[in-house]
């Protein structure tokens, strides 16, 4: 039995999924599920659990890469706490060349997330990167402001329900803005993760990067574990760097709710695995 979108409750189960994907040349982004914690104690517990993940990856021969959310590390309680806990993680991660991606959450948290990222860069940590969401009207300005830092970026459409004041609602605008952001990031020399399952976006970015002569050292594709598995294999077989985002843990409710909101057919997969699980 394997679950469709979540690798399992435990780190050990998640690492088995990684081994299977590596056989297809797909690398892993490991994500311990958890977000919007309401106490310092919970934040510290999550940090300890992510440290355990980073340490477990240290022994592995494949690329080491984790993702987390700053509200998992207490961002809503105290920004300084999130910075402190991130520093502890990045210190450990840098020993083994492990990359730590800071996922982007909903719009009220974007400013704080970007501030924490800047603080970490000022403190000298380069093994971390951010996410930019094409549905937000502010994002092109955010990208421009960040350019001098040469951040590693992941471009996504955005997964949260956002009001029309801050976010485009029209799919064509969101998709158009996605391509604008991804190309602008690449034109400015940022290492860019193109995170989408959208055939139009993947196809256009393949075409454009080929036309520009970009190499696998400059960008990669990222998809979610369990989504378009054949496309993941195909891209990897074509020689692109491909990473799958692999969530694990017991706090899966918000994650699966977003997957169902963006694609209602996913409800079937989720319901089936709950029944079988």
Catalytic residue numbers, as ranges: 103, 154
Whole-number minimum distance, CB 129 to ligand FMN, in Å? Answer: 11
* Residue 262 binds ligand FMN (CB under 6 A): yes
Cα–Cα nearest to 86, from 47, 40, 30: 47
Do residues 89 and 125 lie in contact, with contact meaning Cβ atoms separated by under 8 Å?
no
Cα–Cα nearest to 73, from 25, 27, 105, 108: 105
Taking CB under 6 A as the criterion, the residue among 57, 89, 110, 159 binding ligand FMN is 159
Nearest CB to ligand FMN, comparing residues 54 and 244: 244
* Residue 225 binds ligand FMN (CB under 6 A): no
Give the whole-angstrom CA distance, residue 96 versus residue 80: 25
* Residue 206 binds ligand FMN (CB under 6 A): no
- Both tokens of 129, joined, read 């990167």
* Residue 202 binds ligand FMN (CB under 6 A): no
Taking CB under 6 A as the criterion, the residue among 98, 224, 236, 270 binding ligand FMN is 224
* Residue 204 binds ligand FMN (CB under 6 A): no
CA distances from 144 to 137, 139, 141, 184, 188 (A): 13, 9, 5, 9, 10
Taking CB under 6 A as the criterion, the residue among 107, 127, 222, 232 binding ligand FMN is 222
Whole-number minimum distance, CB 200 to ligand FMN, in Å? Answer: 9
Nearest CB to ligand FMN, comparing residues 43 and 196: 196
Nearest CB to ligand FMN, comparing residues 79 and 198: 198
Do residues 169 and 137 lie in contact, with contact meaning Cβ atoms separated by under 8 Å?
no
Cα–Cα nearest to 27, from 269, 270, 240: 240
**Helix, strand, coil fractions of the chain, as percent rounded to 5:** 50, 15, 35
User: E-assigned strands of the chain?
Assistant: 27-32, 65-68, 99-102, 128-133, 153-156, 192-195, 219-224, 242-248
Taking CB under 6 A as the criterion, the residue among 6, 28, 114, 195 binding ligand FMN is 195
* Residue 30 binds ligand FMN (CB under 6 A): no
Give the whole-angstrom CA distance, residue 181 versus residue 25: 27
Nearest CB to ligand FMN, comparing residues 40 and 108: 108
Residues 96-125 that bind ligand FMN (CB under 6 A): 103-104
Nearest CB to ligand FMN, comparing residues 95 and 267: 267
* Residue 27 binds ligand FMN (CB under 6 A): no
Residues 67-86 that bind ligand FMN (CB under 6 A): none
DSSP codes, 213-266: T--TTTEEEEEETTSSHHHHHHHHHTT--EEEEEEESS--HHHHHHHHHH-TTH
Whole-number minimum distance, CB 41 to ligand FMN, in Å? Answer: 25
Cα–Cα nearest to 182, from 166, 197, 169, 193: 193
Whole-number minimum distance, CB 264 to ligand FMN, in Å? Answer: 13
User: Which residues in this chain contact ligand FMN in the complex, by CB under 6 A?
Assistant: 103-104, 131, 133, 156-160, 195-198, 222-224, 245, 262
């Amino acid at each position: 039995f394997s679950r469709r979108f979540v690798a399992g409750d435990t780190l050990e189960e998640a690492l088995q999924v990684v081994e299977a994907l590596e056989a297809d040349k797909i690398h892993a982004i490991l994500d311990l599920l958890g977000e919007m914690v309401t106490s310092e104690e919970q934040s510290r517990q999550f940090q300890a659990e992510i440290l355990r993940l980073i340490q477990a990856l240290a022994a592995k021969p494949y690329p080491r890469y984790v993702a987390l959310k700053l509200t998992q590390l207490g961002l809503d309680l105290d920004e300084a706490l999130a910075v402190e806990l991130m520093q502890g993680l990045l210190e450990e991660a840098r020993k083994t060349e492990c990359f730590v991606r800071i996922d982007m959450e909903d719009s009220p948290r974007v400013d704080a997330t970007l501030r924490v990222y800047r603080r970490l860069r000022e403190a000298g940590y380069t093994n971390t990167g951010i996410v930019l969401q094409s549905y937000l009207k502010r994002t092109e300005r955010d990208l421009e402001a960040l350019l001098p830092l040469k951040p590693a970026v992941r471009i996504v459409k955005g997964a949260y329900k956002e009001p029309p004041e801050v976010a485009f609602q029209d799919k064509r605008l969101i998709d158009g803005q996605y391509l604008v952001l991804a190309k602008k990031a690449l034109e400015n020399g940022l290492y860019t993760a193109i995170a989408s399952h959208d055939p139009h976006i993947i196809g256009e970015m393949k075409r454009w990067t080929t036309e520009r002569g970009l190499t696998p050292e400059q960008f990669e594709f990222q998809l979610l574990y369990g989504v378009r598995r054949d496309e993941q294999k195909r891209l990897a077989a074509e020689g692109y760097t491909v990473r799958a985002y692999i969530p694990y843990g017991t706090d899966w409710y918000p994650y699966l709710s977003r997957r169902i909101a963006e694609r209602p057919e996913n409800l079937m997969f989720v319901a089936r695995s709950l029944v079988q699980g």
